[in-house]
Structure 1
């Protein structure tokens, strides 16, 4: 119990990222958010196309090949 009372138990060294590292991480985070949004949009489009294929395939054909 004496070790705990002296504050020697559970001490950790905390390091903080530099300003440049924080900027790099913020930029990386923004890029990942954009990729996630793009992936969500692609998934939504794929789901809608699948629904059209099942319910009204003639609409999908005219949309893909407008000629």
Structure 2
């Protein structure tokens, strides 16, 4: 398991996230993966997805397959 945390990433907060502090996620693109984290726990765990898996996930969301 790779626990390396790349530095200098541009994290993007979900457009569905408000300022109320609800359930929010942030996404960042690293060289070999797309990372996802809880916006309230920025130093906490991160999920890493292969770029092609993330692209497929977004495509399926757009097709209403969620």
TM range (shorter): under 0.3
Structure exhibiting the larger radius of gyration computed from Cα positions: 1
Q: Does 1 or 2 have the higher relative contact order (CA < 8 Å, sep 6+)?
A: 2
Which structure dedicates a bigger proportion of its chain to helix?
A: 1
Give the structure-1-normalised TM-score. Answer: 0.27
Which structure dedicates a bigger proportion of its chain to strand?
A: 2
Give the structure-2-normalised TM-score. Answer: 0.27
